[in-house]
Amino acid sequence: MDLKDKIRVYEDFPKDGISFKDINSLILNPKAFQYVIDEMAKVAKALDANLVAIPEARGYIFGTPLAYLIGAGLVPVRKPGKLPGEVSSVAYDLEYGSNRVEIQKKAIKPGDRAIVVDDLLATGGTLMATTRLIEKLGGEIAGIITLIELTELGGRDLLKDYFVHSIVTYPY
């Protein structure tokens, strides 16, 4: 299936010079959405993971059905202040400023193997922060799976120590 036909591209959104890849048109199409989840599951099953970690918010779209299909637990990775109980956090840099991601401390146990699933790999900041957070809590990264990768932004280079699989690639 040609998924690029299902992903609408908006030029100069949200600002001039950005070519925005909109997944809403893909997830609206049941066959395309099922195809993506099935493709992710083929890769994920070989990674021998017991958890799927999903960065807020679009990682939830793909990681939730994937965790169900492979029989793995689901670990939400949230922005600060969104999770109850004890949390662990990691800060990371953005183009303009910084942010943090958090996981409940009891969600990851030493020896857990997690697949990180998100919609997009661009610069890799959020995915790298998520991997660091999982490792900080004693977990291992089985791999990273994304729907889209913007290859010219260098995210794969940042994540060079991990297995990374993207379903669709764009130069930018």
User: How close are the terminal C-alpha atoms of the chain, in Å?
Assistant: 21
Instruction: State if pTM tops 0.85.
Output: yes
* Cβ neighbours of residue 143 closer than 8 Å, sequence gap 6 or more: 43, 44, 47, 49, 115, 116, 162, 163, 164, 165
- CATH code for the part of the protein at 48-170: 3.40.50.2020
Among this protein's residues, is 113 annotated catalytic?
A: no
Per-residue confidence in pLDDT tens, the chain, 172 aa = 999 999 999 999 999 989 999 999 999 999 999 999 999 999 999 999 999 999 999 999 999 999 999 999 999 999 999 999 999 999 988 766 789 999 999 999 999 999 999 999 999 999 999 999 999 999 999 999 999 999 999 999 999 999 999 999 999 7
Q: What percent of the chain has pLDDT over 90?
A: 93
* Catalytic one of 11, 39, 95, 135: 95
pLDDT of residue 95: 64
What length does the chain have?
172
pLDDT of residue 97: 75
Among this protein's residues, is 8 annotated catalytic?
A: no
* Catalytic one of 8, 11, 39, 58: 58
pLDDT of residue 148: 98
pLDDT in tens, 65-100: 999 999 999 999 999 999 999 999 999 887 667 899
